Amino acid sequence: MKKTYYLFNPGRLSRKDNTLKFTPVDENGNEQPPKYLPVEGVEELYVFGALDANSALYNFLGKSDISVHFFDYYENYTGSFMPKDYLLSGKMLLAQTWHYNDKKKRLVIAGKLIDGASFNMIKNMRYYNSRGKELEPLIEILEGYRNSIAAMKNTDELMGLEGNIRQQYYDAFDLIINDFEMGNRTRQPPGNEINALISFGNMMCYSQCLRAIHQTQLNPTISYLHVPGERRYSLALDIAEIFKPLLVDRVIFKVLNKKEIQEKHFNRQLNKCLLNDTGKKIFVQSFEERLNETIQHRSLKRNVSYKHLVKLECYKLAKHLLGMEEYKPFKMWW
């Protein structure tokens, strides 16, 4: 089974026969003992430190279908190396473009994305409400917002509604999480511990969605809820909306309420707060465990991982675009 590997230390990545050789360096620039990764066991790499590699290495990664996702010092996603788009389809590209240019068709897809995302947010809130967190008033507000999705006349109105939904949802974080306060949502840079975890987790989810899209015929630059823009894969942002509540937020609630991540796992500098290396490793481990959890799929009648659910979501959207089957966003049923 292929695995995701996370490179937190700076170092050099090279090819040695059919393995990847990573030689980390310490803060003084001294090389440490190398680590070897059998290439057939690597699915993708997440790079959080400076990486030294040459074009021959990336040719090898491309032929081995291994993606590399890069993050800067401030935990911002900066880009990805993706293998050749061998699944790209002209028919799919035309279908995606047609559904984007047709305002009604785009509105339908965008509305379904928000419907799925808000449903999963409410599921999270109901889970914690049943455990004595007094979330019923906020749940009622979100239900009201969700019921008004069909009345939105364009994607701008939908995005405004999505902002209201997410604000109410984030208000619930202060009731769900025991020892930290959410406050206002701050992004670049995050202003406190919860914001730091949200930003870091959302980037991890975005990368997973991008990888799943790449494994289908979908083009990641054509989206329906978020406006397609320069230098970003906006369809990954669309898909991520559905999965952030169950992949990112549930991990945040777990690592904080179980005190797996504490104040000592953050670095504070002026008005910004970031996870330190130990905190990142703890979060990543919990995130990976969540991705690999399995559930009994109601349609497929077999166990599938959360990670595979993301790919299935891409397939469902592709079928909708090709007129094969109406898209129904993933909604937690447990």
Q: What is the CATH number of the domain that holds 169?
A: 1.20.120.920
Is residue 85 over pLDDT 80? no
Instruction: Tell me if 334 is assigned to some domain.
Output: no
- Mind listing the pLDDT tens digit for each residue in 190-241? 889 999 999 999 999 999 999 999 989 999 999 999 988 766 789 999 999 9
Q: Are residues 62 and 182 in the same domain?
A: no
Instruction: Tell me if 327 is assigned to some domain.
Output: no
The span from the CA of 188 to the CA of 78, in Å, is 13
Instruction: Tell me if 178 is assigned to some domain.
Output: yes
Q: Are residues 140 and 215 in the same domain?
A: yes
Report angle CA 72, 78, 84 to the nearest 5 degrees: 130
E strands of the chain, at which residues?
3-7, 11-16, 19-24, 35-38, 42-47, 51-52, 67-71, 77-81, 266-269, 272-275, 294-296, 303-305
Average pLDDT over the chain reads: 92
Once rounded to an integer, what is the mean pLDDT over residues 92-104?
95
Threshold 0.85, pTM exceeds: yes
Residue predicted with more confidence, 146 or 190? 146
pLDDT of residue 290: 96
Q: Among 81, 109, 141, where does a domain finish?
A: 81
pLDDT of residue 228: 84
Q: Are residues 197 and 115 in the same domain?
A: yes
Q: Are residues 153 and 44 in the same domain?
A: no
The span from the CA of 250 to the CA of 123, in Å, is 11
Q: Are residues 111 and 53 in the same domain?
A: no
Specify whether the CB–CB gap between 252 and 197 falls below 8 A: yes
Q: Among 46, 81, 116, where does a domain finish?
A: 81
Domain with 62 in it: 3-81
Q: Are residues 59 and 143 in the same domain?
A: no
Instruction: Tell me if 286 is assigned to some domain.
Output: yes
The maximal CA–CA distance of the chain, rounded, in angstroms, is 61
Is residue 132 over pLDDT 90? no
Q: Are residues 50 and 97 in the same domain?
A: no
Measure the N-to-C terminal CA separation of the chain; round to a whole number of Å.
Answer: 27
pLDDT of residue 152: 95
Residue the block writes with tokens 């049943």 = 130
Q: Are residues 140 and 256 in the same domain?
A: yes
pLDDT of residue 196: 94
Q: Are residues 223 and 269 in the same domain?
A: yes
Cα distances from 280 to residues 72, 164, 262, 326, in angstroms, run 13, 30, 12, 39
Q: How many domains does the chain have?
A: 2
Q: Which two tokens stand for residue 146?
A: 């969700």
Is residue 86 over pLDDT 60? no
The span from the CA of 166 to the CA of 162, in Å, is 6
Q: Are residues 47 and 182 in the same domain?
A: no
DSSP state string for 38-78: EGGGEEEEEE-S-EE--HHHHHHHHHTT-EEEEE-TTS-EE
Specify whether the CB–CB gap between 34 and 27 falls below 8 A: no
Q: Are residues 304 and 164 in the same domain?
A: yes
CATH classification at residue 53: 3.100.10.20
Q: Among 58, 81, 104, where does a domain finish?
A: 81
Q: Are residues 70 and 118 in the same domain?
A: no
Instruction: Tell me if 145 is assigned to some domain.
Output: yes
Q: Which two tokens stand for residue 257?
A: 């309420």
